[in-house]
Each structure stands twice: as C-alpha cells, then as structure tokens.
Structure 1
Amino acid sequence: MGSILVIKSSAGGAASVSNKLVDQLVARLQAERPELKVVERDLDREPVPHLSSATMAGIGRPAPETEAAKPTRALSDALVAELQEAEILVIGAPMYNFGIASTLKSWFDHVLRAGVTFQYGPNGPEGLVAAKPVIVIETRGGAYSEGPAAVLDSQEPHLRTMLGFMGLRDVDFVRVEKLAMAAQEQIAAAVERIGALRPGALAKAA
C-alpha cells in the first residue's frame, strides 16, 4: 500500500499554524486518495538526532563501524524507506530565523545519503528517490517572498535544493506570510490555496 508521508517541524505545539494547515491538507489528500495510508513524523514530539560525531558514524559511512552506530543507521534506513515508499510527501516548514527548523534539517541529514537517495554521475549529482508530488506548507511571521526582505529568505531555497538533490522537483510551496501581522486573513487565504491545489499535486498524484 502506498502512503502519504507527513513531516511536521513546528515547535509551536497546539498553537502551530503549520501543523493545522498540514492536517487540513492531509484530510483533503485522504479524501482524494483513500487507498493511501498516512505515515506521520512529528519532529517536535519525536526529534531526529542532530548531526554529531556519533550520528555521522552511523550515516556518514558505507556501513556502521561500531555497535553504537547501528541504531543511527537503522533510523536513517527507516526514514529513507518511508520517503521512498511514499506516493505524496507533505512537509510543514515554519520559518525560524530566516530558515527551516533544526529538527527538519536533521531529518534531511538522515535521508540525504550518497549512493542511497542521490549519487554523483558524469554530469553531477543525480537524485535516486522515486518522483512524487511534494507539498510544502511554509509559515512565516513576516513577508519574505518579495520586496527588500526577500534576500533574507534561506528557507525556501534550502528546501528546493535538498529536495531537488534527491530528485524531487515537483514541489508546490504554499506560503503563509505575515502571520505576526494579519494571522486570520493569511490563514484563511492559505486554506483557500490548499483547496485550489488542482491541477497541482492532487491531480498529479491521481
């Protein structure tokens, strides 16, 4: 059975806007594709370990060299398997200090593995993850998609780069900005955009 892989990275708890919008999106995806199971990773509740000498011993080499490194490799293998098996990938990505949450970066650190999710060919890096629609819910307190603050946005370019490196280039970004200024209006607009995701990720997944 295929799946919808859901990655949440908000540190906002019950008040998280990105988590609420992700839940609404997933409910719509399930209505469209009831045969797909939902696999969720909430990185706030169950964080993936950050990079360290210990984690690198498990994921940074062809094979773990010590017993202590084997659990890290097992986790990385499980995360990669979830990504490869998914038919749709949904990521909730709030902006923190102009970039993504460190917990989300840690998830990428565990799935971006040479020879597993990407490789270097004669023409440069090649993605090894099966093509699939990706929907990213980006929430931001300010406005960074245009204007003078756009140069401060390292969130979306970073996500595009890491996803593209694995071969995932069919990405829809739902930007929800100005939440510190006009939250309710922006959330309402985001809900409308999620409802209008066609002929985008929903159609491509059908």
Structure 2
Amino acid sequence: MLRLLHIDSSARLGLSGMQVHGSHTRRLSARFIQRWQSRRPQDPIVYRDVALQPPAPVDGRWVHAAFTPPAQREPWMREVLAQSDALVDELLAADLIVIGVPMYNFGMPSTLKAWVDNIVRVGRTFGFDRGRAGDPYWPLLAGLGKRAVLLGSRGDYGYEPGERLAAINHAEAGVIDPLRYIGIDAFERIAIEYDEFRDERLDGSIAAAEAQVDALVERLVATEPAKESDVHRALCPDTE
C-alpha cells in the first residue's frame, strides 16, 4: 500500500464548478484523490481540513514544550504538544502528501501555516545538536521516499518560475521550503490562475490544471513503489 495524507486549506468550503463560490484547490485535490482511488482503491487516505479544524498556532508554551527534552516534559507540556504530535504522526505515516494551497495575499492561508509550524518539530522531523560539526540541524525525514503534491490557485496570473510575478509567489515556497528542511525533497506543483478575471482564461486554466492532475496521477501510479513508508512500518510493526 501507499499511504496518502490529503490536506485542504481553502476558506471556501465548496468545489468550484459545483458551488458558486467553491474552491479551486478543493476541486483539484478532490479530483486528484478520486482519480487515485479509482486506480489504487487499496491505498488508505487520511483527510485533514485545516480550514474547518485549524491547528492551534505556535505560542510561547508550545515553544517551551517542544524544546524541552521528552523525558523532562511536564504533563502540561505533553498536553500542549498533543495536537502537534498527532499532525506529525500523520505526516510520518504518509508516503504521498496532497495539499491544497490557495494563494492569499501572495502567501498560504494562516491555517496551513499553522499546520507547517506544528509539523516542523525538533527531535521529530528535524534534528539539532549544538556540538555537531558543520550544520547543527539535519532533516529526519530524508531518504524515506516521501513526495508532496501542491495544488494551488491564484487570482492573478504569471506566478510560475520566470514569469512576471514569480518573485512574490510565497504560497508554494512557504510550504516547499519547510518540507524540504525536514527531508521531503520530491514535489509536484499544479495551479489554477486568472480567478479574478472570470473569463475564458480562467476556464482554460481550470481545464489545463485538471488535465495536469489526471496526467500526474497516472505518472505517479506508474512510478511510485507499492510499499508503505519505512517510518510507518517502524511506527506500526504489527502490520507487517
């Protein structure tokens, strides 16, 4: 099996094309998952909607708890980190992470940023040692074969690398850079543009993005190894 983690973050709760104010990213992520399930119905999928159930933002208590060695944590620290631990466990168990990333003011939604902040965890997804020669930080998820698919939407156009607004596209980069930091280095990106124009260019962008999603599913199904992640096997040895 391959284990999927499906994350939606759009404040728009419907799907574009089905609801008047529906979300383009939810439309793309739902299409990806439906296509995947039609090809690999045996693969388990965990769904998390960070717009409907926003992760708690990082605060001073969270930082204090996260940077306290586990053996020294007080009960309140374990309680503060409980949600973060659950989010990290979902990420560790997943082979393929599918994330809807709408662009809000050139970045990701705050609820998705809260998810990112909760899964970048010292001792769980990255290591830190002040006495380590060279770089004191290192990724703990490197070499596990994890892949992320980012499905975006933008009101304007021209945000792809080399295009007119590429320098202010902080949406995908805000997700990719932290994931790369913890060791996930395989990414796929597809996005709908022209949402604010509401003309034939938007229609064309939606059609192109959906075709890219379909092609991506076919490619990944053909190339992904049909196995669980090493991390999941380590967490759940009784499944072997």
Distance 1:199 1:2, change over 3 A: closer
Equivalent residues of 1:9, 1:93 under 8 A apart: yes
1:187 corresponds, among 197, 206, 213, to 206
* Greater per-residue strand proportion: 1
**Aligned equivalent of 1:133:** 147
Matched residue SS, 2:165: helix
Q: Structure 2: state its 5+ residue gaps.
A: 15-21, 226-240
Name structure 1 gaps, 5 residues minimum. none
Tell me, yes or no, if the aligned pair for 1:134 and 1:201 is still in contact at 8 Å.
Answer: no
**TM-score normalized by the length of structure 2:** 0.78
Counterpart pick for 2:176 among 147, 154, 160: 160
Choose the corresponding residue for 1:59, options 57, 66, 83. Answer: 66
User: RMSD of aligned C-alpha atoms?
Assistant: 2.1
* Alignment-mate amino acid for residue 187 of structure 2: V
Query: Max radius of gyration: which structure?
Result: 2
Distance 1:185 1:112, change over 3 A: same
Deviation (angstroms), 1:198: 6.0
Aligned residues: 206
Residue aligned with 1:44, SS: coil
**Cα drift, residue 65 of structure 1:** 4.5
Equivalences for residues 24-43 of structure 1 within 5 A = 24-43=31-50
Query: How many Å apart are 1:184 and its aligned residue?
Result: 2.3
Instruction: Tell me whether 146-155 or 13-22 shows the greater mean CA deviation.
Output: 146-155
Task: Find the aligned partners of 1:40 and 1:19 in 2 and give their Cα distance.
Answer: 12
Percent identity of the aligned residues? 30
Cα distance in 2 for partners of 1:28, 1:198 equals 7
In the TM superposition, residue 67 of structure 1 has moved relative to its aligned partner by 3.7
Question: Which residue of the partner structure matches residue 178 of structure 1?
Answer: 194
Counterparts of 1:157 and 1:200, CA distance in 2: 23
The AA in structure 2 aligned to 1:132 is: K
TM-score (norm 1): 0.89
